[in-house]
Amino acid sequence: MTADPALPTERLTLVDLLDRLLAGGVVIAGDLTLRIADVDLVRVNLHALIGSVDARLPSPWEEHGT
């Protein structure tokens, strides 16, 4: 019986992980329902797109022409 290949020994810090995720963008989607006795009490739908911002693009919130 052969052993599974070892996991890469590269360590990744949280900052590096966030940098890699934001470089390509991340989509988060999920549903949460709080139910008691088959009665839905609270329902939360989450849909989020997270990505990096390029400094060369103008901000949509800046006032132009002032």
- When pLDDT is cut at 50, 70 and 90, the band that residue 5 belongs to is low
Phi, psi of 47, deg, nearest 5 = -140, 115
What's the predicted TM-score (pTM) here?
0.39
**Inside any domain, residue 66:** no
Q: What is the domain count for the chain?
A: 1
Higher pLDDT, 5 or 16: 16
pLDDT in tens, 7-62: 566 777 888 877 877 777 778 899 999 999 989 899 999 888 877 766 776 766 77
* 32 found inside a domain: yes
Mention every residue, 6+ apart, whose C-beta is less than 8 A from residue 52. 22, 23, 25
* Cβ–Cβ < 8 Å for 44, 32: yes
The neighbouring-strand residues paired with 29 are: 47
Domain range holding 44?
Answer: 21-50
Degrees, nearest 5: CA angle 12-17-22: 160
pLDDT given for residue 18 in this prediction: 78
